[in-house]
Structures are given as C-alpha cells and as structure tokens.
Amino acid sequence: MEQRNDTGLSEFLLLGFSEDPALQPLIFGIFLSMYLVTVAGNLLIILAILSDPHLHTPMYFFLSNLSLVDICFTSTTVPKMLVNIQMQSQAISYAGCITQMFFYFLFVGLDNFLLVVMAYDRFVAICRPLHYTVIMNPRLCVQLVLVCWVISVLHSLSHSLLVLRLSFCVHLEIPHFFCELNQVIHSACSDTLLNNLFLYFVSVLLGGGPLAGIFYSYSKIVSSIRVIPSAQGKYKAFSTCASHLSVVSLFYCTGLGVYLSSAATQKSRSTATASVMYTVVTPMLNPFIYSLRNDDIKRALKSIFGGKL
C-alpha cells in the first residue's frame, strides 16, 4: 500500500457505530441527549459547590474539579461525532485526530488521578479526623490538583508525540466514533513497536498505580470503620465514601473492560460501543451518583432553584 511521508495531509475516517443512514438520526438524538445531560448535570454540581459556603471543603473542591473534567472529557469526543452525523461526513483531519487524542488522554488521566486524590481525602477524613483540617489545607489541595494536571499533560503529550512519528497509508478507516489510540496505531503503515510498548507500560504504571493507591486507602478506611463501636457511626463513615466508591467502580470496570477486550476486536465496532460506557455514560452518571444521596448537594441545589426541588 502507498505510504505518505507528509502525514500532515492525511485524513481519517471515523466509521462510528453504523453506516446505515436510517440509524443516524437515532444515534444523533441519543448522544445529543446524553451530552446535554452530562454538561447540565456537572455544571449544576459546580454551581452548587461554588454558591454554598458550606461546600467550600477539600472533598467538594475535588468534586468540582472532577465535574469540570467530566464536561471536558465528553466534549473531546461527542461534539465531533454529532457534527459528522449532521454533515453526513466521517472525516476528521490528521491534526484534528492528534488534537482529539491529546485532550482525550489529558482528561481521562485527570479523571483517573482525581479519583485517587479523592480517595486520599476520604482516607485522611476517616482515619485521621483530628488532623484533617491541618493535613488537607487549601494549599495542599491546590498542589494535588496541579500535580494531576502536570502528570496528565506529560502523559498525553508523550502519546501524541509518538503518534506523530508514524506514517499512515492512503486509506485510513477507524472503526470507532473518535480517534482512539489503539485503532490509530493499528492503522499505521510504519513500525508501531515503540508505541505499543509505551502504551502497555504507561497503562500498567498510570492505571495500576492509582488503582493500587485507591485500594490501599480503602483498606485503611475499612479497618478504621470496623473499630467504630456504634452501627450509626459506621454507617455515617461509610456513607461519605459510597458515592466515590460507585464512581471508581464505574470508571475502572468500564475502562478496563474495554481495553482488556480490545486486543481481540481491533477492527470491530464492538469496542466503540463498549467505549461509550466510560467516555459518555460514566461522566453523565457522576452528577446523579454524587447528588442523589448527598444532602449537602441537595440543599445547595434547592437554594439555587429557590427551594423548588
């Protein structure tokens, strides 16, 4: 097959979920609805936290950052897909694809690291309650978020630079609704060994490391909860972690499920369908998970809407 040395002129075709024209309006409506719910839900969480002084605590500071990242995460992939459906096009430019991959890894990394920081916050709150305000001071909270940003930027930049060294063939079809790295690498005509090795190494390091940190934090939390004498005290302590645990389970189970199965289905649209769970559904559900059982968030939302909720 012919190769292009000037990959800046290349164009990718995002095949999406189906090429059946009759299904395109349905797909457009479903994803537009999910995107609007995601943006509106996460914006409400941010607005509630900013408007209520009682929520100006480390836990809600990290939650507001997570909500902002979820909006950006979904905005990286869904709007381009909606525009392509509306314009009856599957094309995305080479520069657009690289840019999309960069921001995709940036925000998925931030999601990952913020969940670890939130687990650490719960660990300090339950296991070191008397020292909580001293340890989780505003300066440390900001520093933790900045560290998350720095690591995520370096991570996404590394992947993007490694893709730039690849050359691609003339016909570039990606059986996905966005420029997913695995699919892009397997579309290259040049040697991708370095890209694959780096992808697996970073996946273990930046995926397994944070997950191990979350497990460690919750092992200590469970040990501390077990020594609480009253059942009411145990319930209250665990209830502060329930929402975070739900989001962690949803994020890691869907993400790991997709990437562990993607090796066997590189050219199948099943990977794209499964990816919807962590790229669209998880950011959409996070506001509901954190608000439905959280009296503080509910109270803040009621004050915003004049007590009509």
Specify the range with the lowest mean pLDDT, choosing from 29-33, 35-39, 198-202.
198-202
pLDDT of residue 8: 46
Q: Please say if the pLDDT value at position 272 is more than 80.
A: no
Residue 2: C-alpha distances to residues 166, 181, 187, 190, 193 (Å)? 14, 22, 13, 11, 20
Q: What token pair was written down for 35?
A: 């995107």
pLDDT of residue 233: 73
CATH number of 10-304: 1.20.1070.10
Q: Is 88 left (phi over 0), alpha (psi -120 to 50) or beta?
A: left
**Stronger pLDDT, 264 or 285, i.e. the higher one:** 285
**Stronger pLDDT, 199 or 103, i.e. the higher one:** 103
Strands (E), 55-191: 91-93, 168-169, 173-174
- Per-residue pLDDT tens for 213-239? 999 999 998 888 888 777 777 777 777
Q: Please say if the pLDDT value at position 101 is more than 90.
A: yes
Q: Please say if the pLDDT value at position 264 is more than 60.
A: no
pTM of the model: 0.89
Helix (H) / strand (E) element for 12: namely strand 11-14
φ, ψ for residue 176 (rounded to 5)?
-155, 170
Per domain, the residue ranges of the chain are: 10-304
| 54-70: average pLDDT | 93
- Per-residue pLDDT tens for 286-309? 888 887 777 788 888 888 887 555
Average pLDDT for the chain: 85
Q: Please say if the pLDDT value at position 6 is more than 60.
A: no
Confidence grade of residue 261 (pLDDT, cut at 50, 70, 90): low
Q: Please say if the pLDDT value at position 5 is more than 50.
A: no
pLDDT of residue 63: 93
Rounded distance between C-alpha atoms, residue 6 and residue 158, angstroms = 21
CA dihedral 115, 48, 236, 116 (to 10 degrees): 10
